[in-house]
Amino acid sequence: MLSVSLDREVRTPLHAQLTDQLRRLILNGRLPVGSKLPSSRKLSVELSVSRVTVVTAMDQLQSEGYIETRQGSGVFVTADLPDGMVLHPDRGADSGVDKPFVVPEAPEIRPFQTFMPDLSLFPHRHWSRTFDRVWRQPDASLLTHQDLFGWPALRVAIADHLATWRGIVCSPEQIVITAGTRDAIDLIAHSAFRKGDTVLVEDPGYASLGLALDDGGLTVCPVPVGRQGFDIAWGTALAPEAKGAVVTPSRQFPLGMTLPVARRLDLLSWSRTADGLLIEDDYDSEFRYFGAPLPALMSLDEHGVVVYLGSFSKVLSPTFRLGFLVAPDRLLDQIRDRLLVTGPHASFLVQPVLARFMAEGHFATHLRRMRRIYGQRRDVLTHALAEQLGDVVEIGDVSAGMHAVIRLRGDRACVETDEAVAARAREVGLVLRPLSSYYAGKPRSQGLVLGYAAFDEAKLVDGVRALSEVLVG
């Protein structure tokens, strides 16, 4: 049992208290590097809080770089904390109220860390002005009881954005503001499924999705992803009784391929026949570097079988903890009933600001700027890899997104595991995610996942040079 105690009599939200105390345990060494954390389900029972409270805290710690999720294994204290970050237990902050705690600086972001946007590009001037206009003299409606689905003006802005960027025609009434993807998954798990229902997930895939489904009482069935992406025929062969599937059709995570139209239509056909539900995770689809972003799977849905998940973490900042889902009309009553029990978890403070920010065109301008800069960084990374490691690695699909997957060529792939390469890379200051860590079971492929969005051109070139020393010497 972790030495964590939450105080319900103070104003600080429970998830913020839990985040702070877990952070302290990591920093003072009481949660050592590499140690496994209890599951969100176990923690929620031990602390008598909802799983969403625990998941929100875990997601915040992951965004700060303190913990990492390993596919099929759980949540661990990251091995990539900078030197000197972990304090001695006798000198670090204790959870007691009589000892002052100095908030440490966030861990340094090092090449090629994934999931991170370049926060130096955040549009501070426009955002601060918008925030000031909204909250300096707020309208009375901002201070009254709010809709469980979120601030109405933000839902209108999101509906307009989806129609323009993703080809989704929906009403604002179908949109629910969430505290991120895991919050959305938890909401869907309890609103659209029965406990024990089987849900198909991509393998390799995003481990947190599977953990969130499991925490929601569902049975998770990993489905191997082939060269063309997720195949529902393979999924139904593994689990004929499946009632749902979570897919990343616009850009498979982490491999990067786009799901062909034929397979999208197969998914929609299966969901109608099986009375199933498709959950479309559109995690970074805005960052497509050839032409306009592809239409979403939901844009093809004529029978209300798709729930669409979106997030602002990759475009603006993970600290906002804001996302959204678009649900078919038939699920709206169940979702509202669930929210009546749990209450909404998305921060309201940011919602009216983001609504105006989007309505005034600042969000679209920022998005276009980010896409242009990230596209340039992708070009720099792929050119440097080809120039320095062209005979050693092959580069996967980089037509979109914020990361690249590389694989060792020839005999080298048989001699050394991707985990061993990642460990040696850490010694020279690089953070590489082994592709094998994204598999639920025995990995069928090995490689390295390189994030590039958060790093300028010089850091990317230096990072490839350091990686060359690791691989070639």
Domain definitions of the chain by residue range? 14-108, 124-362, 365-471
Phi-psi region of 57 (alpha: psi -120 to 50; beta: other; left: phi over 0): alpha
Q: Are 234 and 224 in contact (CB under 8 A)?
A: yes
Q: Are 189 and 212 in contact (CB under 8 A)?
A: yes
Strands 306-311 and 277-281: parallel
Helices (H), ranges, 427-456: none
Q: Which CATH class is domain 14-108?
A: mainly alpha
Tens of pLDDT along the chain (473 residues) come to 577 888 777 767 787 888 888 888 888 788 888 888 888 878 888 888 877 788 778 877 876 778 887 766 788 888 766 544 555 444 444 444 444 445 555 567 889 998 889 999 999 999 999 999 999 988 888 888 789 999 999 999 999 999 998 999 999 999 999 999 989 999 999 999 999 999 999 999 988 888 889 888 999 999 999 999 999 999 999 999 999 999 999 999 999 999 999 999 999 999 999 999 999 999 887 888 877 667 899 999 999 999 999 999 889 988 888 999 999 999 999 999 999 999 998 989 999 999 999 999 999 999 999 999 999 999 999 999 999 999 999 999 999 999 999 999 877 666 788 999 999 999 999 999 999 999 988 888 899 999 999 999 999 999 999 999 999 87
Q: Are 46 and 38 in contact (CB under 8 A)?
A: yes
Q: What CA–CA distance (Å, rounded) separates 183 from 188?
A: 9
The DSSP output letter for 293 is P
CA quadruple 356, 359, 365, 371: dihedral sign: positive
| Candidates 3.40.640.10, 3.90.1150.10, 3.20.20.70, 3.40.50.1000; CATH matching 365-471 | 3.90.1150.10
DSSP reduced 3-state for 70: strand
The DSSP output letter for 259 is P
Answer whether 124-362 and 365-471 agree in fold.
Answer: no
Q: What CA–CA distance (Å, rounded) separates 396 from 377?
A: 16
Q: Are 406 and 393 in contact (CB under 8 A)?
A: yes
**φ and ψ at 189, to 5 degrees?**
-55, -40
Question: pTM of the full predicted structure?
Answer: 0.81
Q: Are 244 and 199 in contact (CB under 8 A)?
A: yes
Q: What CA–CA distance (Å, rounded) separates 362 from 311?
A: 17
Q: What CA–CA distance (Å, rounded) separates 260 from 250?
A: 9
The reported pLDDT for the residue numbered 76 is: 87
Q: Are 439 and 203 in contact (CB under 8 A)?
A: yes
Q: Are 172 and 152 in contact (CB under 8 A)?
A: yes
The reported pLDDT for the residue numbered 84 is: 46
The reported pLDDT for the residue numbered 442 is: 85
Q: Which CATH class is domain 124-362?
A: alpha beta
DSSP 98-143: TS--PPPPPPPP-TT-SS---GGG--HHHHHHHHHHHHSS--GGGG
Helices (H), ranges, 315-410: 332-342, 351-359, 362-389
